[in-house]
Chain A
Amino acid sequence: MTEALAFPRHQEHPAPARPLLVATNVRKHYGGVEVLKGISLSVNAGEVMCLLGPSGSGKSTFLRCINHLERIDGGRISVGGELVGYAQRQDRIFEMNPREVAKQRSGIGMVFQRFNLFPHMTALENIWAAPVGVKKVPKQHAIKRGMELLDRVGLAHLAKAYPAQLSGGQQQRVAIARALAMDPQLLLFDEPTSALDPELVGDVLDVMRTLAADGMTMIVVTHEIGFARGAADSVVFMDGGVVVESGAPADVLDNPQNPRTIAFLESVM
């Protein structure tokens, strides 16, 4: 293990930011096509990382690898010091069984481009279903917490509405509340606003900014440069399955070095 992978559990003094997510040389291919060609990056606890890149560059694939929705073909990903999808016993590494994977995933929330709310459940049911079903939280508590979360995303009055009765922006805010209900240590967003009408984007981004300010660790795939500039602690630009450029938003967004980054930023701004 390299220095960067060590996860300091006991800190005597307020330490430099500790990495929550560490990806080392992550590779993934579909058939013969290599989609991720060795991605290495880390995200500190409490920080927001924005992932930019043209279509097909592998952003979604990388995000899905982080909660083991896709199995990686090389490298390693760890969240909170634990390998994702694999368990290390003595010197050997085993793939986790579905139950262990499920348990691990419950600590990593994900928000999708197409919301993916459960259409047969009300907004509130969408939020308490997993805490009650997976974490065995008493239903009364989960419902109370669900109402608090709905209030936090500004939708308490729509608790009884079904997803089909909500606007896209409202659905996405419910989806964020649903992910938060599992108390994840890391939240992944895959283009959370790109399926929304322009006038609804702001509400969702506001919720995400509040989360960032509250210290939630987030990885956000987005084309919203304004959001990245204002809310991100770091920005990573990916293209063709590799990290082309990364750093502080001011550096990457306002003073890009790589010609591919420059071309991409010109096209979206």
Chain B
Amino acid sequence: MLGISFAALASSLWANPNIDHRTISSYLFHPRILGGVGLTLMLTVVSMVVSTILGVLLAVMRLSKNPVMNAFAWFYVWVFRGTPLLIQVVFWGYLGLLYAQISLGVPFTDFTVFSVDTNTLVPAFTAGLLAMTLNQAAYSAEIIRGGMLSVDTGQHEAASSLGMSPAFTLFRVVLPQAMRVIIPPMGNETISMLKNTSLLSVIAVLELYTVATQISSQNLRQVELLVVVSCWYLFLTSVLSVPQYYLERHYGRGNARQQSPTPLGRIRAALRKTPIHAVSKGPQP
């Protein structure tokens, strides 16, 4: 049902004479669009990696017995999860307007060691990266904390009884097991991140969506460029689910009694078993 209505919508869009297919195909691989794609991918990957590291740190703090660390982590998550991402993006982007200059010097005197323009210190790209990373860290921290809590207390005891330090236990025993629980929601988060980078258009970071709006404001082909952009987001989403599949397998080892082979492994095995001429006899896709 859903598939049919979706197909109907797609075909009516396709058949609509007001949509210029030539624009779509000429902009799909336009250098400016490709640049936007690259920046979007880069922003997604960098902020996911950095926010995951921050998330582990926050999760460990939140689970620690130290009340100061615990409160800090709780406060961090409360602030960054409780305010809209759009506002955080704008905040970091316009920080330069709040503090025109950040200077290091003796307070209440004219003596300064150095001073920099916040606009050069926090250019749009850095501000965007910062906004996405800090926000994501709050969400990741909770996912990672949940994963760590899912690990049996017997594991902590076994590690302790072997003389493992808390840090060693975290990295060799707890996190590898928590990963099984952490990775699927983190896959979701990665895809959200990919799409949320489009919010950075409000502070003029030249990612995919910003570039597309800039182009369409000149040639007035809004719908065509939205189609181009959507194709790219769909493509990037698919690309990013490949590492997720392999990470899930890696951390799932030892859990299933026997792991099924990867798609690539299956193809390889099939090629090994079947003589070359027999392959062409198989059902054609």
A107→B161 CA distance, assembly (Å): 9
A106 interfacial contact with B, CB 8 Å: yes
Complex CA gap A127/B103 in Å reads 55
A182 and B254 contact, Cβ closer than 8 Å, known pairs A116-B154, A119-B177, A120-B177:
no
Chain B: residues with Cβ within 8 Å of the partner, total of 24
Complex interface bits, A123-163 against B, C-beta within 8 A gives 1, otherwise 0: 00000011001110000000000000000000000000011
A103 to B164: give the CA distance in the assembly, Å: 8
A182/B163 in contact, CB under 8 A: yes
A39 to chain B, nearest CB (A): 20
B254 near A163 with CB under 8 A, answer yes
Known contacts A121-B254, A134-B168; A102 and B158 CB within 8 A of each other: no
Shortest A146–chain B CB gap in Å is 13
**A110:B176 contact, CB within 8 angstroms:** no
Whether the pair A134, B154 counts as a contact (CB closer than 8 A) is: no
Identify which of B154, B160, B256 contacts A105 (C-beta below 8 A).
Answer: B160
Does A253 reach chain B (CB closer than 8 Å)? no
Q: Given A106-B162, A106-B163, A182-B162, verify A116-B157 contact (CB < 8 Å).
A: yes
Residues on A with C-beta less than 8 A from B166 are 98
Q: Does A69 contact B (CB under 8 A)?
A: yes
Tell whether, in the assembled complex, residue B160 and residue A102 are in contact, meaning their CB atoms are under 8 Å apart.
Answer: yes
Known: A119-B255, A120-B254. A105 touches B162 (CB 8 A): yes
Q: Which residue of B lies closest to A132 (CB)?
A: B172
Q: Is the CB of A103 within 8 A of B255?
A: no
Tell me the nearest residue of chain A to B161, going by C-beta. A110
A161 to chain B, nearest CB (A): 9
**A114 at the binding interface (Cβ < 8 Å):** yes
Complex alpha-carbon distance, A134 and B253, angstroms = 24
Min CB gap A117→B, angstroms: 7
- For the complex, give the distance between the alpha carbons of A116 and B157 in Å: 8
Question: CB-CB contacts of B20-62 with A at 8 A, as 1s and 0s?
Answer: 0000000000000000000000000000000000000000000
Contact A164-B254, Cβ < 8 Å, known A120-B177, A129-B172, A133-B172: yes
Bound-state CA distance A109–B165 (Å) is 15
**B interface residues (Cβ-Cβ under 8 A, vs A):** 152, 154-155, 157-166, 168, 172-173, 176-177, 251, 253-257
A and B contact pairs by CB, cutoff 8 A, 30 listed? A67-B160, A69-B157, A102-B163, A102-B164, A103-B163, A104-B163, A105-B160, A105-B163, A107-B163, A110-B158, A110-B161, A112-B157, A116-B158, A117-B158, A118-B159, A119-B177, A119-B254, A120-B177, A120-B251, A120-B253, A122-B254, A129-B162, A130-B162, A130-B164, A133-B172, A162-B253, A162-B254, A175-B158, A178-B162, A182-B162
Given contacts A69-B157, A130-B162, A134-B165, 14 further A-B contacts (CB under 8 A): A98-B165, A98-B166, A102-B165, A105-B162, A105-B163, A110-B157, A120-B176, A129-B162, A134-B163, A162-B253, A164-B255, A164-B256, A175-B158, A182-B162
